[in-house]
């Protein structure tokens, strides 16, 4: 067992540390306040190869591995969780399924611009009545000659208000239920009948747009089907396995920011004549944070290693996402507590970390669903 990073992995980690510290951290509070999509940061991340890290260079990506992706996501999210989730969706939920299930022609046309950072991608799965239960979706795509005609609404779509391209999950055969779900690639800038609906006003990750996508007799070419008809659910589950690694890394990044700021504050804040870092109550909180964050990162790296080596990682990605998001939230609550009244005020970033951490327990599958996924895999292993 080798815990040493390769030179390439160290390089991307160090590059992201510098980029996050020099260009992201200073504007994170402003982005949160204004809810402004970080256009320039996304363009720069594209130039650095961060918007398609594990995508082959042939299709505009950086041609690196998923361990590198985890390391990069942690550093970017540590500086700004909103920027982190935009990067995560681009890599995991858009680029991954096209690279995995798309044809060469689809990759050239729809993957290259997004993996290179010249365009933004999104993944449209959730509906008002279909969140944890995707089989309940109602959006349909009906073949009419050489076009799919799409009708329906998708909710809570990350980057939906700014995305150029979208992977859409829709029923192409309503009679077959979940076996009739298919995935389609859509150019949102060239699809009559498509519009952006409500953009949510959220508690956290406020610079990352979360939007409703509306399709009203929207027509896309027949060849935009991703893979075979009816393979959408299987594609979706595989995609979400990969996506959970990105969200787990986002959570660890938030937790790392909490720990750093709590450590710094505890050395300068004095009570009863000495820094609060001298009190056991504070030391134990910091020790727990550090231990749990290291454990979460190791779970993520194990799952990423399995993915890089073509091994099953559904259980491991669910474990990593669940644990990382739970401990990020726990760390954020304790971070606010350590800062006391200052932790509750916007003059310090700690309250933003707490708001940002919460969503990690919800999206890419709630942590309740993650526990079901883990348990299901345990029973499968027991049965052999």
What amino acid positions are annotated as catalytic residues?
Answer: 364
Q: Is there a contact between 283 and 345 (Cβ–Cβ < 8 Å)?
A: no
Q: Which residues pair with 182 in a beta bridge?
A: 170
**What distance in Å separates the CA atoms of residue 51 and residue 107, rounded to the nearest whole number?**
15
Question: Cβ–Cβ contacts within 10 Å for residue 44, how many?
Answer: 16
Q: Is there a contact between 319 and 375 (Cβ–Cβ < 8 Å)?
A: no
Residue 149 three-state SS: strand
Residue 140 three-state SS: strand
**What distance in Å separates the CA atoms of residue 266 and residue 258, rounded to the nearest whole number?**
12
Nearest of 253, 304, 260, 303 to residue 81 by alpha carbon: 253
**What distance in Å separates the CA atoms of residue 197 and residue 42, rounded to the nearest whole number?**
23
Torsion 185-140-123-201 (CA) sign: positive
**What distance in Å separates the CA atoms of residue 104 and residue 102, rounded to the nearest whole number?**
7
Residue 243 three-state SS: helix
């Amino acid at each position: 067992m080798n815990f040493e990073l390769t030179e390439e992995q160290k390089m991307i980690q160090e590059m992201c540390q510098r980029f996050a510290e020099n260009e992201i951290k200073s504007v994170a509070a402003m982005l949160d306040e204004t809810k402004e999509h970080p256009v320039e940061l996304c363009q720069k991340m594209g130039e650095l190869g961060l918007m398609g890290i594990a995508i082959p260079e042939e299709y505009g990506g950086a041609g690196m591995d998923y361990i590198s992706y985890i390391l990069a996501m942690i550093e970017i999210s540590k500086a700004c969780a909103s920027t982190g989730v935009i990067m995560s969706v681009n890599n995991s939920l858009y680029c991954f399924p096209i690279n995995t299930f798309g044809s060469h022609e689809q990759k050239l046309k729809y993957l290259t611009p997004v993996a290179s950072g010249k365009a933004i991608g999104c993944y449209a799965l959730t509906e008002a009545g279909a969140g944890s239960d995707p089989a309940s979706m109602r959006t349909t795509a009906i073949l009419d000659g050489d076009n799919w005609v799409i009708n329906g609404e998708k909710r809570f779509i990350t980057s939906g208000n700014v995305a150029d391209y979208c992977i859409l999950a829709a029923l192409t055969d309503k009679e077959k239920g979940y076996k009739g779900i298919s995935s389609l690639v859509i150019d949102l800038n060239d699809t009559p009948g498509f519009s952006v609906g409500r953009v949510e006003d959220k508690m956290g990750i406020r610079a990352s747009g979360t939007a409703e996508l509306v399709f009203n007799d929207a027509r896309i070419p027949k060849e935009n089907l991703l893979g075979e008809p009816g393979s959408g659910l299987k594609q979706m589950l595989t995609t979400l396995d990969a996506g959970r690694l990105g969200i787990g890394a986002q959570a660890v990044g938030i937790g790392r920011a909490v720990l750093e700021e709590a450590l710094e504050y505890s050395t300068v804040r004095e009570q009863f004549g000495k820094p609060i870092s001298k009190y056991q109550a504070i030391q134990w909180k910091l020790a727990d944070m550090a231990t749990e964050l290291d454990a979460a990162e190791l779970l993520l790296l194990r799952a990423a290693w399995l993915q890089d080596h073509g091994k099953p990682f559904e259980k491991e990605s669910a474990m990593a996402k669940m644990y990382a998001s739970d401990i990020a939230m726990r760390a954020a609550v304790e971070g606010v507590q350590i800062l006391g009244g200052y932790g509750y005020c916007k003059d310090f970033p700690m309250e933003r970390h707490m708001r940002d951490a919460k969503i990690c327990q919800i999206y890419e599958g709630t942590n309740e669903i993650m526990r079901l996924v883990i348990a299901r895999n345990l029973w499968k292993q027991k049965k052999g």
